[in-house]
Structure 1
Amino acid sequence: MTGGRLRPGTIFGIGLNYADTIREMGRETPTTPYLFPKLTSSVIGDGEAIVIDTEITSRVDWESELAVVIGETARDVPAAEALGIVRGYTVAQDVSARDLQEADGQWVRGKGLDTFCPLGPEVVPAADVPDPQQLAVRTWLNGERVQEGTTKDMVFTVAELIAYLSSFFTLRPGDVILTGTPSGCGDFRTPRMALKPGDVLVSEVEGIGRLTNPVVAKT
């Protein structure tokens, strides 16, 4: 953390990694992790504002996630050894412009807008998290709980994700892996819900912390 904000190297996003979310979206379960980049310019910290440009997007959604912070340079790491290269864990909010995702047919623009990757409030050392597959993940919108799940429902575990990514890319200290989100996102509800200026979003991972971000309009 630098000045209250994590300064990641590469941010690897993983989509469709919770069985209940896959059902919610009406998608098929992937046979390999669904990978997308999250731009480092989108990172903000705890307490900083998610900025929505209403001229660009009107369907901004929440996705609370466990984030994995890599602690050493590694390539081709076996899953059985993968947790050994983890520096620690933090909370991520993978803010997503669903209309841009839909229009583009891919996720770079919709996931990468400025302020669309809150991270924090701190990195909890890996030694203090005995099992990253046994953590509750929750979201509150204006005090109402809108998301609750558990990392045990991941399709691909943290160790499997590290092994997969390191088979293609060199992982470096400070790189971050966003591990997916449980069901309860706004865009897949009936009626649909979306973030708007004036909202307050709270993202929590059990044993890791709570990340709070107000939502404001671009001025």
Structure 2
Amino acid sequence: MKYGIRLFVALCLLVIGFCIGATEYKNIFSDVKWTDVGMLLVTFFGFVFGFLTYFQWLNSKRRDDSYLAAKKYIASIDEVEEFLHELFFQYEHICPTPGLAIENKDISIARIEHLNKVLNYLYQARRSLYKSHRELGFWNVMLNDDFSEDYEAINEMLDSISVVSSVLNNQLFHFIESNEKINDVVQSKNRFDELSKKTHQIIQRRVQCGFKAVFNFG
């Protein structure tokens, strides 16, 4: 928009200069009809108005696209959180806990297969988060300092969660087959719970602060 305003000012100065120059050489324009001059001015200002309207529309379109990019980023984080919650929910039912009845073998194996799928979905969600974060820069949108740090922290947590979950799924499979090494399962489950809780706290910070606090639109 600012470029359109600059061009408008430049064109206005050109017209003013032309009018001033015309007073110095008024005899040259003695045969020119004022109706023609009026039509010329109307055409000129119509062109300028259309030009400014276009730049205003373009600026508005860019702003809308910037907001869409920001919303896509938030949606990617929500998707990551959804798969983390699903992992947590499944581990709560399959991991051995005092006072909780152990599921039969077939159900547990089916649950582990589901956990492996969810872990793959989480990986894909992380790719979507990376792409949506990259797109912010293209639309001249920046994360504010605290939330830029949160983005890095979330990725570090997700790296650790991916490793711990892969190990835990493998441990659960062997535990179901032999009922051995329960301590390893409990230790990995506790580590997962710790990482999941920290990640959830980081993600929820954006909800507490609100949309405007997260982004800086250039």
User: Which of the pair has the greater relative contact order for Cα pairs under 8 Å at 6+ separation?
Assistant: 1
Going by fraction, where is strand more abundant, 1 or 2? 1
The alignment's TM-score, normalised by the length of structure 2, stands at 0.20
Higher helix share: 2
Tell me which structure has the larger Cα radius of gyration: 2
